[in-house]
Structure 1
């Protein structure tokens, strides 16, 4: 990996954490300094910051262990796999009912990252499998993942007023995207009408954590010639599935 943009303080913090993971409440500042080859003054500032962030805990003997923040990070890491497992379990019967593909994705910057897909038995498919990224403004998933963002946050995500065209139907302006997100917030779901892929339409809805924060989103995609026939049922079912997957 290119080291050009690495942050030395984070490398040092990572080294500290790797020691503490294996041997909690054994190492004092002076011992860590010797083991890692980091000066005491530099390490002291680092540990004070890490303690403030609750990355580490310090006991009465001045020894260190990993802190509660890292526990939350670890739980969040494994919860995403719980979510994928539940998504596959619950989306499978819905796919069979609708005979259309169901996707799960998260927001990463101004793109959606697809985590999982339950694929319908159709010869024509959208390219939306795990690991695929796609411009968020051109997808129902992306719009759903932005439902809790205000205008300022959306402008920060998309600094330019003009948005890239993916198809002839893609939203062209940031202001139009803000309006779509506002409409979606009121409806509880969002649509993609041939905006990401010509010939396909999608309905999407957000999945929420117990705190109410949006964690991911799901969508149902289908060829346009089946859209009017199945649209209302797909909206109803996707909203229900999103509710089931919330708080997983």
Structure 2
């Protein structure tokens, strides 16, 4: 059975170092639940425990409880995936949810105007997760998908999220998860990342210059919750040989307007 993916071509980036966040019993259960239903499930006990940063013995006990309560299901061979109760809960959250409908409608409008792929991502622990994807009408597509984990330091959505942190929060987070190079263009130094985030705050948008995936350039804008805190971001992803950097930057007003329209819809 395949291990747990943390991004489209994960090299153990994203969820590494999660052990320091194991926390109390609730934290452990939630981290294990998230790891068990990551793309590619069902997952082995050892992979789930490692991704969640929970000792294997404790993970086994908690996972058994989650199976008993039907939040997870076991295949009988030591692998776990979503159970019927979790699937029902997911359906209740998403089906007919007015906020989801509004967010998707806003993203679809943006997608039609720019004719490129549009994403909405939210922070989930030490990474961001793609919540909504509006696919480009062009034949060449990005490899992203809903539920995919995005490294915070190497994506436009991630940089938007990081721009909302204090310097102390940023330092602690980057010390914990590291800044692995996704490509030759990835920012891997904390000082360089600080300077990049200063630009994001000043300009109100973030760029991913082939930092997460060669051939893909992204423009992002932060999305805030009802209290004004940055909880995610919206992005336009373009294929570099199809769209110029200048064209992408020409959409900054559009993406900031879309991000503003999502204000408060994520909590």
Q: TM-score, normalised by structure 2?
A: 0.60
State how far apart, in whole Å, the 2-side matches of 1:10 and 1:164 are: 25
User: Match for 1:100 among 116, 120, 133?
Assistant: 116
Verify: 1:136 aligned to 2:152, yes or no. Answer: yes
Aligned residue number for residue 239 of structure 1:
256
The structure carrying a bigger helix percent of its residues is 1
Contact 1:144–1:217 (CA under 8 A) maintained in structure 2: yes
Verify: 1:163 aligned to 2:195, yes or no. Answer: no
Seen in structure 2, the aligned counterparts of structure 1 residues 239 and 10 have a Cα distance that, compared at 3 Å, is closer
Contact 2:126–2:177 (CA under 8 A) maintained in structure 1: no
Contact 1:84–1:115 (CA under 8 A) maintained in structure 2: no
- 5+ residue gaps in structure 1? 12-76
Q: TM-score, normalised by structure 1?
A: 0.65
Verify: 1:89 aligned to 2:105, yes or no. Answer: yes
Contact 1:170–1:196 (CA under 8 A) maintained in structure 2: yes
Structure with the greater alpha carbon radius of gyration: 1
Aligned residue number for residue 128 of structure 2:
112
Verify: 1:216 aligned to 2:203, yes or no. Answer: no
Number of residue pairs the alignment of both structures matches: 177
State how far apart, in whole Å, the 2-side matches of 1:163 and 1:229 are: 28
State how far apart, in whole Å, the 2-side matches of 1:158 and 1:92 are: 33
Aligned-pair CA distance for 1:6: 9.6
Contact 1:144–1:190 (CA under 8 A) maintained in structure 2: yes
Look up the SS of the partner of 2:153 in the other structure. Answer: helix
Deviations 1:6-45 (A, max 9, x none): 966899xxxxxxxxxxxxxxxxxxxxxxxxxxxxxxxxxx
Verify: 1:181 aligned to 2:197, yes or no. Answer: yes
Verify: 1:202 aligned to 2:237, yes or no. Answer: no
Deviations 1:161-219 (A, max 9, x none): 96201011111212211111111011111110000110111110111123111132100
Seen in structure 2, the aligned counterparts of structure 1 residues 129 and 211 have a Cα distance that, compared at 3 Å, is same
Contact 1:110–1:158 (CA under 8 A) maintained in structure 2: no
Seen in structure 2, the aligned counterparts of structure 1 residues 8 and 178 have a Cα distance that, compared at 3 Å, is closer
Which structure is higher in RCO with an 8 Å CA cutoff and minimum separation 6?
Answer: 2
Root mean square deviation, CA, Å: 2.5
State how far apart, in whole Å, the 1-side matches of 2:250 and 2:131 are: 24
- 5+ residue gaps in structure 2? 1-21, 29-92
